Amino acid sequence: MRLMDIETQPSTLQILVDDQERKIELTQDMILEAESILTKMDRDMDKGWQLARRFIDNPSVMQRCQIASNRLLTGLHTGNEATVSLMSCYIVSRLKDVSTVAINSEGEDDQTLFYDDAGTMLK
């Protein structure tokens, strides 16, 4: 997996969880500085990953971003801003055109959805 062209990515990721909204400001420098960690995440996910109730042998980019969203949610719940920023960087760097993530907070990671600036769901 390679780093997307981050110059075309938004500088803000909107996060929706239940009735709460949060915006995370991201800079190109933040994303570039995090890339070695993000690449390690990809290598870990290359071995397969549990997503919701099933094990995925080779997660797609979308599934990897759903996994990162689950970690992002954990970071929000625990107040771990480093995790929130890092997982936001992962999503923005891997999923072209993403501007919003609607995280399923009921343990159904595969129901987390991503949208572009026009509100179109990314697939």
Least Cα distance to 98 among 118, 84, 82, 76 occurs for 118
Residue 4 reports pLDDT greater than 60: no
Q: What pLDDT is stored for residue 51 in this prediction? A: 86
pTM of structure: 0.88
Q: How far apart are CA 38 and CA 105, in angstroms?
A: 23
Contacts for 29 with CB less than 8 Å, ≥ 6 apart: none
pLDDT digits (tens, 9 = 90+) for 17-61: 999 999 999 999 999 999 999 999 999 999 999 988 889 999 999
CA quadruple 120, 94, 61, 66: dihedral positive or negative?
negative
